[in-house]
Chain A
Amino acid sequence: MFKHILKHVTGGPVTEAAPAASEAALKELAGKVDAAARKRLGRSLSIREVDAGSCNACELEIHALNNPIYDLERFGIRFVASPRHADVLLVTGPVAKNMAEALKRTWDATPDPKWVVACGDCAIDGGVFRDGYACTGGVDAVVPVDLRIPGCPPRPAELLAGLLALLETSAK
């Protein structure tokens, strides 16, 4: 194992260069972060991920952000275990009615200032699960949404571009 690690030390990091912040996301976020919030957050964001009925594909790609290739933490963005430690709720899924209460309570438990990111097509408008008795039809049916990252599921690079836009806006 140590030989393995040594090789990495000499070979340099596998981490790839960051994508540019998403233009679409910057546009959507314009004016949503006030000066007081920017001062408090600096260049750091804590994210609580909430699966509100996703098929797990979005979670797989969010997981990938933590691998050494995308290495989300180099930007000062990290995933936290409790909504009480979070600035951002990253919500996936069409919000199953069975999860609506839990999502609302998670949002209530997150301290201000806070942002909600709807991650994936289901979270934006319910996607293929929109109709029917069991889903609310998107995150904004339950909590207000600040940023939408489309895709089914969004690629890690797209997730990263969206989150970097949020970081850029909050750190201006």
Chain B
Amino acid sequence: MYFGDEPLTGIINRIGTRVDGHGPWPRFTTTSGGWRTLIETLSGNAWSLLGLWGEPAAVHAAVREDLSGEVAVVSLDCPDGKFLSMGHVRPGAIRLERAIQDLYGLKAEKSVDARPWLDHDAWGVTHPLGAQPGKPRHAPRPYPVLPMEGEGLHQIPVGPVHAGIIEPGHFRFTANGETVVRLEERLGYVHKGIEGLMRGKRVEEAAKLAARVSGDSTVAHSLAFARAVEAAMGIVVPPRAVWLRALMAELERIANHLGDIGAVCNDAAFAFMLAELSQLREAVLRACDAVFGHRLMMDRVVPGGVAVDIAEHDPARLLGLVEELRRRFPPLVAVYENKASLQDRTVTTGCVSAQLVKRFAAGGFVGRAAGRGLDARRSPAYPPYDDLEFEVPVLTDGDVNARVWIRIKEVEQSLGLVEQIVKRMPGVPRNERGETPLPRVPAEGTAGEGMALVEGFRGEILTWVRVNADGTVDRCHPRDPSWFQWPLLEAAIEGNIVADFPLCNKSFNCSYSGHDL
């Protein structure tokens, strides 16, 4: 089945040569002419750009044909340190290209924005991951913000240190009176060099870094890394581990959504909801702590399986949590729905159009609140979700209210998933004497390349990895969903008042750490 003139694999087979040892989707190498054809195809609407990442002398693009769900990676060797930019057809690629330029020294030709992105001239080295890391610059380069001209315009610089307890980044507002004319983001402040730190580490050690790409999505990022490594090395995970992973992923989704729904209301000056929902979030985290031994379940998903199993009495505890949330959450949803003062702030605020969401391939509640109904749990799908019943809520308004509602509905869906998983999980739980073996196999296998798409609470995480024969990581790239959501925040705030920015920002809740790496 295919849509359009030619299916994805048809076009890519024509422009590229298939590389062996890449799973579960194929990877092709292409020439600069083939890269040009790829960009031409991406100017249409049939494909999504899932990711774009570099290596010392090559760039890789992951693409998906949205209707058929076919996924492939296209690679271009860059012997002369250059590749053609795809930013003019896929604006979501612009920041990824700037990051490749900063980290690997590969230049995106004909780029619409050639300014540095992650490199703030503070590392003491230039293109640190490139074939030949360069000498540091004598003085930091100036960073010109995009020019704005017009009568009565003024700028408001915010950050990197913000007023709340949030991550650092710089926002430059250009406003006319109260109305925001343009927002420009500058990120990269929390760049920790994760991709560089992963190189040469054993997969078990690299998994710890993957778990700390973005702390709120630690389960989802660990899962994406583990699945990519398992695809690369040909590891088959015990069925019980697959279900335990999904259990943790859904608990993480519920905890984050509960906290963020409350925080959005709090940013609309309605503290009651935060006070109530933060108690529900705490109930989830305490259950996670009791069952998995860590409130955020960090380092619990590992390549080869899981690091901890639940005990015999834990299913009852988790079902009790589901029951408690089903009792306490709906009355709060009713408060949100019926408070005119709250609706006044969230409805028609911070709109993102369906076209932009599609062009940027934004996932998660940002995409699903504006008509892009993709969910990695459904397409390309991964176990055990093909065996579970759930709905993927989609709305079309694209405003703060729609994003809140998507999250409310996802909490309800995830509660159902937790219930199904707990009731139907295969295998034997940990007994009190601890003699039941963990559902985990050694992270050993062949050298290879693997990719994974995993639905975190924010949206689709892509992780690509190449593992050496000795079980060390040669190259890993975790692409957080925030890469394709941050630029849309700039669009969402346009025409809104400055005072609504915290509300819009919280309704997106993009990750700084996951983006800056």
Q: Measuring CB to CB, which residues of chain A are less than 8 angstroms from any residue of chain B?
A: 1, 4-5, 14, 49-64, 66-69, 79, 81-83, 93-94, 96-102, 106, 128-129, 131-135, 152-153, 155
21 A/B residue pairs, CB under 8 Å, sorted by A: A1-B335, A1-B339, A4-B331, A4-B335, A54-B190, A57-B218, A60-B215, A60-B216, A67-B275, A93-B190, A96-B190, A98-B120, A98-B122, A98-B189, A98-B191, A99-B168, A106-B161, A129-B209, A133-B193, A135-B193, A155-B295
A95 to chain B, nearest CB (A): 10
- Number of B residues with CB within 8 Å of any CB on chain A: 52
Q: Measuring CB to CB, which residues of chain B are less than 8 angstroms from any residue of chain A?
A: 118, 120, 122-125, 128, 160-161, 163-168, 188-194, 196-197, 208-209, 212-216, 218, 259, 272, 275-276, 278-279, 281-282, 285, 289, 295-296, 298, 331, 335, 339, 511-513, 516
Q: Ordered nearest first, which 10 A-B pairs have the shortest CB separation?
A: A57-B215, A134-B193, A67-B278, A81-B163, A55-B215, A56-B215, A97-B122, A55-B212, A132-B193, A133-B128
Cβ B196 vs Cβ A81 within 8 A: no
Instruction: Out of A4, A14, A56, A106, name the residue touching B513 (CB < 8 Å).
Output: A56
Instruction: Out of B118, B163, B298, name the residue touching A57 (CB < 8 Å).
Output: B298
A9 to chain B, nearest CB (A): 13
Cβ A153 vs Cβ B167 within 8 A: no
Tell me how many residue pairs across A and B have CB atoms closer than 8 Å: 147
- Residues on A with C-beta less than 8 A from B331 are 4
Complex Cα distance, B192 from A156, in Å, reads 25
Cβ A61 vs Cβ B295 within 8 A: yes
Cβ B212 vs Cβ A128 within 8 A: yes
Cβ B123 vs Cβ A51 within 8 A: no
Cβ B296 vs Cβ A57 within 8 A: yes
- Residues on B with C-beta less than 8 A from A128 are 197, 208-209, 212
- Residues on B with C-beta less than 8 A from A96 are 189-192, 516
B317 to chain A, nearest CB (A): 18
Cβ A67 vs Cβ B282 within 8 A: yes
A64-B190 contact, Cβ under 8 Å, with A99-B160, A133-B128: no
Instruction: Out of B163, B279, B295, name the residue touching A68 (CB < 8 Å).
Output: B279
A67-B279 contact, Cβ under 8 Å, with A57-B212, A155-B295: yes
Interface of B: prevailing SS: loop
Interface of A: prevailing SS: mixed
A132 to chain B, nearest CB (A): 4
B121 to chain A, nearest CB (A): 9
- Residues on A with C-beta less than 8 A from B285 are 64
- Residues on A with C-beta less than 8 A from B166 are 51, 59
B277 to chain A, nearest CB (A): 9
Cβ B193 vs Cβ A102 within 8 A: no
Complex Cα distance, B315 from A21, in Å, reads 35
- Residues on A with C-beta less than 8 A from B194 are 129
Cβ A102 vs Cβ B168 within 8 A: yes
- Residues on A with C-beta less than 8 A from B516 are 96, 98
- Residues on B with C-beta less than 8 A from A58 are 215
A2 to chain B, nearest CB (A): 10
Complex Cα distance, B168 from A141, in Å, reads 19
Complex Cα distance, B193 from A107, in Å, reads 25
Whose C-beta in chain B lies nearest to the C-beta of A57? Answer: B215
- Residues on A with C-beta less than 8 A from B213 are 55
Whose C-beta in chain B lies nearest to the C-beta of A99? Answer: B189
Give the one of B125, B218, B282 with max A CB within 10 A. B282
